[in-house]
Chains A and B, each alone.
Chain A
Amino acid sequence: GESVGLHLPTLSVQEGDNSIINCAYSNSASDYFIWYKQESGKGPQFIIDIRSNMDKRQGQRVTVLLNKTVKHLSLQIAATQPGDSAVYFCAENVYGNKLVFGAGTILRVKS
């Protein structure tokens, strides 16, 4: 079927390596940020979130870093696996639980 990531930037990594996906957000008043993973033919899947009063948060194999000074968000995936291949989106909560999504990045894991 058609991929939702046809026109998005691509990050290719070797299986087992660490991946870093970056995102620039637009609104300095945003207080909450989320990373989503979207596999082909599926809806976005919640990965990890971070509030604006934090600069780092760790989950299982994933870490999100927030730099409010330059309005930058990153997602680090440790020991990347083939199952991590997907499109990754950051999203910011601008107001009223309404999310504004970033452009997205395709992650391709080479075995």
Chain B
Amino acid sequence: SAVISQKPSRDICQRGTSLTIQCQVDSQVTMMFWYRQQPGQSLTLIATANQGSEATYESGFVIDKFPISRPNLTFSTLTVSNMSPEDSSIYLCSVDVRGTGNSYEQYFGPGTRLTVT
């Protein structure tokens, strides 16, 4: 498994501002992922962040709105830019860890609860 921490754990922000969320892992991992979980809903993948390359964004998410950094194998940041109330969500990072056989198990951080007013 992997121990994943996120900062901040929660924040209340004003519309039009930006917030950068940090994700730290206790071991080196190749792939890190950022998800969004809107209130009362399931998780949606925002992007995949690999060290040394540009993040790959899923449909409906763009780099200008959610810039991502991946400076090394244990750390990543997600910025939520020019926030609006619709960005109020829990933002989660996750990592792949090799499990039994050839499987990869994906573990999640505790999440960052963002409220935009």
Name A's B-contacting residues (CB within 8 A).
1-8, 32, 34, 36, 41-46, 49, 51, 89, 91, 96-104
How many A-B contacts at CB < 8 Å in the complex? 68
A99 and B107 in contact, given A4-B40, A6-B39, A49-B99 (Cβ under 8 angstroms): no
Contact between A44 and B108 (Cβ–Cβ < 8 Å)? yes
Contact between A99 and B37 (Cβ–Cβ < 8 Å)? no
Which of B4, B39, B42, B45 has most chain A Cβ within 10 Å?
Answer: B42
Contact between B42 and A49 (Cβ–Cβ < 8 Å)? no
Contact between B103 and A32 (Cβ–Cβ < 8 Å)? yes
Contact between B105 and A46 (Cβ–Cβ < 8 Å)? yes
- For residue A50, which residue of chain B has the nearest CB? B103
Q: How far is the CB of A81 from chain B (nearest CB, A)?
A: 22
CA distance A97 to B94 in the complex (A): 11
Residues of B within 8 A of A4 (CB): 37, 39-41, 90
Residues of A within 8 A of B103 (CB): 32, 49, 51
A49 and B43 in contact, given A4-B90, A43-B111 (Cβ under 8 angstroms): no
Residues of A within 8 A of B82 (CB): none
B44 located at the interface, meaning its Cβ lies under 8 Å from any Cβ of chain A in the complex: yes
CA distance A45 to B105 in the complex (A): 11
Q: How far is the CB of A98 from chain B (nearest CB, A)?
A: 6
B110 located at the interface, meaning its Cβ lies under 8 Å from any Cβ of chain A in the complex: yes
- For residue B6, which residue of chain A has the nearest CB? A43
Question: Pick the contact of A97 from B40, B104, B107, B109 — CB < 8 Å?
Answer: B104
